[in-house]
Amino acid sequence: MIGVVASPSQYSAVEEFFELFKTPWEFCKTDRNYEVLICADDGTAPHSSANLTVVYCGRKLPIDAFGNVEITSSRRGRRVLSGDGMRIPIYGDSVTFANDGACILRDEESRHPATYTACAAGGGTVIRIGYDLFDEVNVLLIEGQPCENASIPALEFHISVLRTLIVSSGIPLKEIPPVPSGYRFIACLTHDVDHPAIRRHMFDRTMFGFLYRAVITSLFGVLRGRASARMLFTNWVAVLKLPFVYLGIAKDFWNQLDTYTRLDGGGRSSFFVIPFKGRPGSKEGKLAPSHRASGYSAADVAAVTQQLQSEGHEIGLHGIDAWHDKSKGREELDEIRRITGEREIGTRMHWLYFDNRSPAVLEDLGVDYDSTVGYNEAVGYRAGTAQVYKPLNVTRLLELPLHVMDTALFLSGRQHLSPTEASKLVEAIIDHATEFGGVVTVNWHDRSIAPERLWLDFYAQLLDECKRKGAWFASAGDTVRWFRRRRAAKFDDLDLKAGKLKHPETAERLPGMFLRVHNAGFLPLHNDDMSRGSSVESAQTEAVDTTLHRG
Ligand SMILES: [Zn+2]
């Protein structure tokens, strides 16, 4: 059992950190002994007989003076630590030390150690770490990471550092990894429905933009080697077809929702639909740009969305003002509830509009989950994590972070990558997921596989890669449900002899969870067939070597 000492202002970050780590812990009680004691905030450790004490603090502490360890640099933010194949940006206070001993993290520039092993009076090991873990969790889950650190799953790395310290000390550790039983990770395919038909855009900015990019940009794309002649041909044919689309003679080539149901390979996907047309919404007291307004209403596509629902796909709210305005949010949510007949609705905001108060607004509205936290200009981990998490200021709403968005990868003015460059970035995200578990949330817009974007081949490759690497393809709603069950799992309910984990809900057919046990010489283990999906009630147990394997 891990005991935690932290300041009250860090309590919600501590609780969420251990929901993501999912290992037994409690806030430190003075009358109890712990195998591992974690001291954050000011690093004051109660007298303890713990085998391992980890002291996290980004400022100089009495323990440093006591051990004669000099602080070599002290700063707020602007530091990257590296070690064990990881790069971890530190956003709060941090210090480095003058110490020659072994350390697991060093300042990337100065190479000074950011950790050291201190002498302990009681015989246990004390490891001093030069930043505050829970202050970092606060920053990641509230403000998020800047774009330049998008590719770093910082929160997963923080978990990994702590796990390595515990496991390498030979202390037994149980955890329920964020990995559905029988798979390596979750691939969540989502589609923001912004432009389900080009015929709704006659002589507007969207139509002229389409013509310009289809005729001119794709020609330059071919000349610069960024697009193929076949793409140019397809786009020019689409331009010639356009009048016939407007006349209703030719098929509307932006109407691609049914194509996605075939591409998404039998898994369930999620489609976020805009409730009302012609409403740009507002931000910071001002009207949003007029071209944020949609050319369609959810009611216009009700027939096709109901068909998608009947095939098992999910329809969510692509919110206009729901992120900041409760009365408008209620109207938007009610419209999607009316059309879908579903009570539990998830959201993603159009243009990813969101701020720190949005989780509380959405929770008040009764939204089931949100999936807006991501970047418009980058792919990766805004909140530093591939796991579904609970924003720190709400009680029930969960956030499914968005990791890979088509427009962020390819649009000029955003990352503007070639398919090869984009593949590298996306593969790294999938590789992190196979290593740490969690979910890769993908947003491929409705029109992105159609002219003039034609990002179909890349999307198909991405799906193949996920399939090959062992993904469970799940809708956003099912992904969130799976994480809710993991959050509900209690270690007290664990019956290791029977290899069973009790869950409060048992009705849903979702993959199970498994227990990973490190340094478990004394525990009875049930090594079920890991490749087989288990029923929701069974918990497989997996023994892990005394040394933790990364990758
Ligand atoms: Zn949108």
For residue 211, the CA-to-ligand 1 centroid distance in Å is 20
CB atoms within 10 A of CB 465: 17
For residue 332, the CA-to-ligand 1 centroid distance in Å is 14
Return left, alpha or beta for 416; rule: phi > 0 is left, psi -120 to 50 is alpha, else beta: left
For residue 351, the CA-to-ligand 1 centroid distance in Å is 5
Residue 150 amino acid letter: A
For residue 501, the CA-to-ligand 1 centroid distance in Å is 40
Range of 97-106, 203-212, 441-450 with top mean pLDDT: 441-450
Rounded average pLDDT over 121-149: 93
For residue 9, the CA-to-ligand 1 centroid distance in Å is 35
What is the predicted pLDDT for the residue at 45? 67
What is the predicted pLDDT for the residue at 224? 85
What is the predicted pLDDT for the residue at 44? 66
For residue 497, the CA-to-ligand 1 centroid distance in Å is 50
For residue 189, the CA-to-ligand 1 centroid distance in Å is 15
Closest CA to 87 of 135, 147, 153, 139: 153
For residue 349, the CA-to-ligand 1 centroid distance in Å is 7
What angle is formed at CA 291 by the lines to CA 342 and CA 284, rounded to 5 degrees? 80
Q: In what order do the strands lie in the sheet with 86-90?
A: 86-90, 79-83, 106-107
Rounded average pLDDT over 517-532: 50
Rounded average pLDDT over 89-114: 93
For residue 481, the CA-to-ligand 1 centroid distance in Å is 24
Q: In terms of DSSP bridges, do strands 369-370 and 398-399 run parallel, antiparallel, or are they unpaired?
A: parallel
Name the superfamily (CATH) of residues 2-143: Class I glutamine amidotransferase (GATase) domain (3.40.50.880)
Burial of residue 337 (CB within 10 Å: 0-12, 13-18, 19+) is: middle
For residue 282, the CA-to-ligand 1 centroid distance in Å is 14
For residue 387, the CA-to-ligand 1 centroid distance in Å is 23
For residue 22, the CA-to-ligand 1 centroid distance in Å is 34
For residue 110, the CA-to-ligand 1 centroid distance in Å is 43
DSSP sequence for 444-477: --GGGGSTTT--HHHHHHHHHHHHHTTEEEE-HH
Higher-pLDDT residue of 161, 551: 161
For residue 274, the CA-to-ligand 1 centroid distance in Å is 8
For residue 392, the CA-to-ligand 1 centroid distance in Å is 26
Strands annotated E in 165-261: 173-175, 185-193
For the cut 50, the answer to whether the pLDDT of residue 278 exceeds it is: yes
Contact assessment for residue 23 and residue 56, using Cβ atoms and an 8 Å cutoff: no
* In the block, residue with structure tokens 């990019």: 213
For residue 319, the CA-to-ligand 1 centroid distance in Å is 8
Measured in residues, the chain has a length of: 551
Closest CA to 31 of 47, 17, 20, 16: 47
For residue 193, the CA-to-ligand 1 centroid distance in Å is 7
Rounded average pLDDT over 99-124: 86
For residue 289, the CA-to-ligand 1 centroid distance in Å is 13
Closest CA to 516 of 483, 486, 488: 486
What is the predicted pLDDT for the residue at 487? 96
Biggest CA-to-CA distance, the chain: 84
For residue 112, the CA-to-ligand 1 centroid distance in Å is 45
Closest CA to 122 of 183, 37, 59: 37
The model carries a pTM of 0.92
For residue 125, the CA-to-ligand 1 centroid distance in Å is 52
What is the predicted pLDDT for the residue at 551? 28
For residue 194, the CA-to-ligand 1 centroid distance in Å is 5
Q: Which residues pair with 22 in a beta bridge?
A: none
Angle between helices 133-142 and 154-168 (to 10 degrees): 160
**26 cis-preceded (ω within 30 degrees of 0):** no
Return left, alpha or beta for 77; rule: phi > 0 is left, psi -120 to 50 is alpha, else beta: left
Tell me the pLDDT tens digit for each residue of 472-488: 999 999 999 999 999 99
Higher-pLDDT residue of 204, 524: 204
What is the predicted pLDDT for the residue at 167? 94
Number of H helices, E strands in the chain: 15, 27
Rounded average pLDDT over 143-161: 97
Q: How confident is the model at residue 500 (pLDDT cuts 50, 70, 90)?
A: low
Range of 22-31, 48-57, 314-323 with top mean pLDDT: 314-323
Q: In terms of DSSP bridges, do strands 286-287 and 282-283 run parallel, antiparallel, or are they unpaired?
A: antiparallel
For domain 185-196+254-482, the CATH architecture is: Alpha-Beta Barrel (3.20)
For residue 192, the CA-to-ligand 1 centroid distance in Å is 5
Same fold for the pair 2-143 and 185-196+254-482: no
DSSP state of 549: P
**452 cis-preceded (ω within 30 degrees of 0):** yes
For residue 232, the CA-to-ligand 1 centroid distance in Å is 26
Closest CA to 446 of 312, 309, 270: 270
Contact assessment for residue 312 and residue 335, using Cβ atoms and an 8 Å cutoff: no
For residue 272, the CA-to-ligand 1 centroid distance in Å is 8
What is the predicted pLDDT for the residue at 100? 78
139: tokens are 């920053």
For the cut 90, the answer to whether the pLDDT of residue 508 exceeds it is: no
What is the predicted pLDDT for the residue at 392? 96
CA–CA gap between residue 496 and residue 487 (Å, rounded): 19
What is the predicted pLDDT for the residue at 320? 98
In the chain, where the domains are located:
2-143, 185-196+254-482, 198-253
Distance of CA 161 to the CA centre of its chain: 19
For residue 519, the CA-to-ligand 1 centroid distance in Å is 48
Q: In what order do the strands lie in the sheet with 539-544?
A: 173-175, 513-518, 539-544
For residue 139, the CA-to-ligand 1 centroid distance in Å is 26
For residue 318, the CA-to-ligand 1 centroid distance in Å is 7
For residue 344, the CA-to-ligand 1 centroid distance in Å is 20
For residue 212, the CA-to-ligand 1 centroid distance in Å is 21
Residue 161 amino acid letter: V
CB atoms within 10 A of CB 174: 18
Contact assessment for residue 332 and residue 369, using Cβ atoms and an 8 Å cutoff: no
Contact assessment for residue 20 and residue 178, using Cβ atoms and an 8 Å cutoff: yes
Q: How confident is the model at residue 256 (pLDDT cuts 50, 70, 90)?
A: confident
For 3, the 3-state DSSP assignment is strand
Tell me the pLDDT tens digit for each residue of 406-423: 999 998 888 888 889 999
CB atoms within 10 A of CB 237: 12
For residue 320, the CA-to-ligand 1 centroid distance in Å is 9
For residue 353, the CA-to-ligand 1 centroid distance in Å is 10
For residue 442, the CA-to-ligand 1 centroid distance in Å is 14
Mean pLDDT (the chain) is 89
Tell me the pLDDT tens digit for each residue of 452-461: 888 999 999 9
For residue 391, the CA-to-ligand 1 centroid distance in Å is 22
Rounded average pLDDT over 99-125: 86
Q: How confident is the model at residue 538 (pLDDT cuts 50, 70, 90)?
A: very low
What is the predicted pLDDT for the residue at 524? 42
For residue 27, the CA-to-ligand 1 centroid distance in Å is 42
For residue 141, the CA-to-ligand 1 centroid distance in Å is 23
Kindly list the distances between the CA atom of residue 460 and the CA atoms of 189, 261, 437, 456, in Å, as whole numbers in the listed order.
12, 12, 22, 6
Instruction: Round to the nearest angstrom and report the end-to-end CA distance of the chain.
Output: 26
For residue 352, the CA-to-ligand 1 centroid distance in Å is 7
99: tokens are 């110490």
For residue 311, the CA-to-ligand 1 centroid distance in Å is 23
Q: How confident is the model at residue 389 (pLDDT cuts 50, 70, 90)?
A: very high
